[in-house]
Amino acid sequence: MGVKLYDDAILKKIKKWFPNEQDLKILKPNQSNRLFRLKADENNDKPLTLPCISVSRDPSIGIDIPGRRSLSCDGLKIDASRMATIQLDAIPINITYQIDIYTQKFEEGDDYVRSLLFNIINHPRMKVLIPYNDVQLKHVCYLALEGEVTDNSDIAEKLFDDEFTRWTIRVSVHDAFLFGTPVITNARLIGVELDVRDKQTKEDIITVEYDAETDEEDDE
């Protein structure tokens, strides 16, 4: 279970911030990396329409622990039976995203940037859905602004016809983890007899036997 979970979560969150923007195209990281191809594939060689928000993930992902920790090998127990336990192990990571806002007019781009900044600062909470056994486990993390907002409109690109503006916002994800769900075989007592005796009479009160063949308890 990798960083794709965070890609999906940030895309869903940005879309939620612009529910009524029918013409706004929002590209998640794997689409943003193919922006030139998308221009031809999705528009039959016509220009990709604006406005457009492109989300890209930095290729380097930081790992916050150098070696084995209890979090990475003995995590949260999420399901258990008599025979096995399934646990949620985690490795803390650092993920950084770049959000590029493309618009035809400066004023339009300025409005999108303002809206994004207010939402990131005031509503940083982001839910990541972890698929497990036909259910979705939820993990909460937080977006945080990185440094400054940059107007990159002067960078020459051939993605769009005519003039356009491009604003860039960088955000990091706090409390991000890589998750694993190993199945742990439970230890069992077999071929053991347990006696509970009265202190005064020394007589057996309860005798429990664990059968080595059937692993069932017999009460006498």
Spans of all domains in the chain: 4-64+93-176, 189-220
**pLDDT tens digits along 59-106:** 898 887 777 776 666 656 666 565 556 677 788 899 999 999 999 888
Q: Given this model, what pLDDT does residue 217 score?
A: 43
Give the tens place of pLDDT for each residue, 62-73. Answer: 887 777 776 666
Contacts of 189 (CB under 8 A, 6+ apart): 210
Measured distance CA(126)–CA(140) in Å, rounded: 6
Average pLDDT over every residue of 48-52: 79
More confident residue, 5 or 213: 5
Q: What is the pLDDT of residue 164?
A: 78
Q: Is the pLDDT of residue 159 over 80?
A: no
Place of tokens 């400066």: 106
Count other Cβ atoms within 10 Å, centred on residue 213.
Answer: 7
Distance CA 171, CA 98 (A): 6
Domain covering 4-64+93-176, topology: STM4215-like (3.30.2000)
Please enumerate in sequence order all residues whose Cβ is within 8 A of that of 211, keeping only pairs 6 or more positions apart, or say none.
190, 191, 217, 218
| pLDDT score at 80 | 56
- Residue 23: per-residue pLDDT: 85
Residue 114 to residue 149: CA distance in whole angstroms: 10
Average predicted confidence (pLDDT) for the chain:
76
For range 28-42, the mean pLDDT: 60
> How many Å apart are CA 202 and CA 129, to the nearest integer?
57
| pLDDT class of 214 with cuts at 50, 70, 90 | very low
Residue 36: pLDDT band (50, 70, 90) is: very low
pLDDT, position 48: 62
The model's confidence at residue 216, banded by pLDDT at 50, 70 and 90, is: very low
Q: What percent of the chain has pLDDT over 90?
A: 32
Q: Model-level pTM greater than 0.75?
A: no
